[in-house]
Amino acid sequence: MRLIIVGGLRGAIITAAKIAISHGANVTHTENIEQTLAVLRAKGADLLMVDVAQPIAKLVAALEAERIRTPIVACGTSTDARAAVAAIQAGAREYVPLPPDPELIAAVLEAVAADQTSLIWRDPAMERVVQLAGQIARSDAPVLVTGESGTGKEVIARHLHQKSLRRDKPFVAVNCAAIPDNLLESELFGHEKGAFTGAVARRIGKFEEAHGGTLLLDEISEMDVRLQAKLLRALQERMIDRVGGTQPVKVDLRIIATSNRNLGDAVRDGLFREDLFYRLNVVHLRLPALRERPGDVLALADHFAKKYAEINGLPLRPVAADARKVLLANSWRGNVRELENTVHRAVLLAQGGEINAEAMLTPEGETLGPVSGRDPAGRAAQTADAMTRSLVGRTVADVERDLILDTLDHCLGNRTHAAKILGISIRTLRNKLSEYTASGIVVAEPGQARISAA
CA triple 166-167-170, angle to 5 deg: 80
Q: Does domain 2-114 sit in CATH 3.40.50.2300?
A: yes
Give the CATH number of domain 291-359; options: 1.10.286.10, 1.10.8.60, 3.40.50.720, 3.30.450.40: 1.10.8.60
A 10 A CB-CB count for 317 gives 19
The CATH number corresponding to 393-454 among 2.40.10.340, 3.40.350.10, 1.10.10.60, 3.30.2270.10 equals 1.10.10.60
pLDDT of 373 reads: 38
Segment 59-66 long-range contacts (CB within 8 Å, at least 24 positions apart): 59/6, 59/33, 60/90, 60/91, 62/33, 62/37, 66/37, 66/40, 66/41, 66/203
CATH superfamily ID and name for 124-288: P-loop containing nucleotide triphosphate hydrolases (3.40.50.300)
- pLDDT tens-place values along the chain, 454 residues long: 788 888 875 667 677 777 888 777 788 888 888 889 888 887 778 888 888 888 888 998 888 877 677 888 888 876 667 777 888 888 888 788 877 777 777 777 666 655 545 688 889 899 899 999 989 999 999 999 999 999 999 999 999 998 899 988 999 999 998 888 878 998 999 888 887 777 778 888 999 999 999 999 999 999 988 899 999 999 999 999 988 888 899 999 999 999 998 898 999 988 899 999 999 999 999 999 999 999 999 999 999 998 888 877 788 999 999 999 999 999 999 999 999 999 999 999 998 899 999 999 888 778 786 543 334 454 455 445 545 555 666 688 888 888 898 888 877 788 887 888 888 888 889 889 988 888 888 888 877 777 543 3
| Alpha-helical segments (H) within 163-272 | 181-189, 206-209, 225-237, 263-268
CA dist., res. 286 & res. 146, Å (int): 5
- For the chain, domain boundaries: 2-114, 124-288, 291-359, 393-454
Residue 23, CA distances (Å) to 4, 7, 97, 315 in order: 14, 21, 19, 29
pLDDT of the residue at 300 = 93
| C-alpha to C-alpha distance for 134 and 132, rounded to whole angstroms | 5
Q: How far is CA 442 from the centre of its chain?
A: 23
Strand order in the sheet with 47-51: 26-30, 2-6, 47-51, 72-77, 94-98
- Number of residues assigned to the chain: 454
The partner residues of 96 in beta bridges, in order of sequence, read: 75
